[in-house]
Structure 1
């Protein structure tokens, strides 16, 4: 028996990186997975990888633009493919356009909030009551370490992830008593799944002096997502699980010489 045997799961933004890793991990743990995203070629490739490993998966094209209609269309298509029931929803899809507060125009603000906050809000609006009526379910949101440890760029993105962490607690209070567990994962600085393992990256500097001392991997986030979706986490509600190598929980003390040498 695997940890998610017999479960069904929808993972948004699962054609690459963290979402892809979660989809593949869920497939390996016995869940029937719906992969979703905007890139059909990459989405179908993820499905084929899951199937080749012996798992069950399907792909749904989804451009989550923040409208209720787009979220409902994805929820309906995934529900049909999964036999009428979604047990696990992972709100992973998100965008991060490089910006500072002065350079974020109105269109960018609207787009980032549409994808990062409104789309998961409406997916949860549609699916959480259905989960409750079916006897229960699990919702996992993706936050970010920058929601609580500020950096001088990306204020817009950080604010959306702060919103998702707040919604995690609010939804836990709202839907937990009806059998729907809601939690979040807050990834740290994560190496892209397309990067060569252990190859130098400009992001390495963000992990100097942390307990881990290196970038995380999408697979580390996927392992946490498997745990939160499984019965092992049945008593975990309204929690934001930091999977960040100690970036937010431990004071970073880096030697200037060491940081300069690694830059």
Structure 2
């Protein structure tokens, strides 16, 4: 099996569950060593189990670190833990791939948005990626081979209901993606992806009034149409209420995997569609 990312270090925030875990599995299968970053005590078991799984299946090196990256000291603490775990015997340490995946939604209709929810959403979705990247800069490659990928959202383009906090902060992340692509051009590429509904259970936990509005938007995504004999019966049944099926984690992880490849070295400052055609843009 080809392992094009052999021994490259990938740091993934929010990596214990959902898309983050899918990204860790995908990159480990390509040979990357993985640092799994998570926040809550409730995720400790999932993070350690995932690390053991990746080492057993793919013979890569892994480490886990529990840290709140929204705190002033969190980003520096994260990078110090990475150095402790992945510094080579010759004393060198390099971060090849950084994926800013951690995020929070906090949906609320206009008129009901609270200051505390907006602050919490901004701190994790927009501020934390900036300061994690700043802490990582001294350890990025100097030959443009580095990869920084920010997980944004389809909501930044759709004017999605109840998403003042989420879409606003993810829009800020997309704007910073373009700034970072210019400032770090000799070190790494910097791109965002914009997934829509994913098979993580997140969307089914949203308020019923919001799910009803999702239907028409998902219906417009050409790849969200379900397929008898390919998609599971459970997926097909759930899609009826959502207007189409969500993305499987491996489909979105595959887009990130492509951006991490050496052949993707001419792509930077972009928001790469990863939503089944729910948003089509002309660059």
User: TM range, normalised to the smaller chain?
Assistant: 0.7 to 0.9
Shift of 1:72: 1.0
Task: Output the TM-score relative to the length of structure 1.
Answer: 0.86
The equivalent of 2:100 in structure 1 is: 91
Which of 178, 188, 191 is residue 196 of structure 2 equivalent to?
188
Q: Indicate if the aligned counterparts of 2:6 and 2:31 stay in contact, CA closer than 8 A.
A: yes
The equivalent of 2:123 in structure 1 is: 114
Note closer, same or farther for the CA distance 1:124–1:238 as it changes in structure 2 (3 Å cut).
same
Which secondary structure does the structure 2 equivalent of 1:2 belong to? coil
Shift of 1:123: 0.7
Once residues 7 and 207 of structure 1 are traced to their aligned partners in structure 2, the CA distance between those partners, rounded to angstroms, is: 36
Task: Output the TM-score relative to the length of structure 2.
Answer: 0.80
The equivalent of 1:75 in structure 2 is: 79
The equivalent of 1:208 in structure 2 is: 219
Once residues 86 and 128 of structure 2 are traced to their aligned partners in structure 1, the CA distance between those partners, rounded to angstroms, is: 20
Query: After superposition, what is the alpha-carbon deviation per residue over 1:32-77, rounded to whole angstroms, capped at 9, x for unaligned?
Result: 1001102211111111221221232211112222x33111111111
The equivalent of 2:28 in structure 1 is: 27
Once residues 62 and 243 of structure 1 are traced to their aligned partners in structure 2, the CA distance between those partners, rounded to angstroms, is: 28
5 Å-filtered alignment, 1:3-82, equals: 3-38=4-39, 39-56=43-60, 57-65=62-70, 67-82=71-86
Which of 222, 226, 231 is residue 257 of structure 2 equivalent to?
226
Query: After superposition, what is the alpha-carbon deviation per residue over 1:218-251, rounded to whole angstroms, capped at 9, x for unaligned?
Result: 111111111111102011111110110110118x
How many residue pairs were aligned? 243
Once residues 266 and 98 of structure 2 are traced to their aligned partners in structure 1, the CA distance between those partners, rounded to angstroms, is: 18
CA RMSD of the aligned region, Å? 2.1
Indicate whether 1:139 and 2:144 are aligned: no
Structure 1: 4+ residue segments shifted above 4 A: 132-136
Shift of 1:4: 0.8
Query: After superposition, what is the alpha-carbon deviation per residue over 1:143-177, rounded to whole angstroms, capped at 9, x for unaligned?
Result: 1000011122111100011011111111001101x
Q: Indicate if the aligned counterparts of 1:132 and 1:175 stay in contact, CA closer than 8 A.
A: no
Question: Which deviates further from its counterpart, 207-216 or 112-121?
Answer: 207-216
Note closer, same or farther for the CA distance 1:232–1:72 as it changes in structure 2 (3 Å cut).
same
Which of 179, 182, 202 is residue 173 of structure 1 equivalent to?
182
5 Å-filtered alignment, 1:99-110, equals: 99-110=108-119
Note closer, same or farther for the CA distance 1:53–1:184 as it changes in structure 2 (3 Å cut).
same
Which secondary structure does the structure 2 equivalent of 1:140 belong to? strand
Structure 2 residue runs without a partner (length 5+): 88-92, 204-210, 226-244
Which secondary structure does the structure 2 equivalent of 1:226 belong to? helix
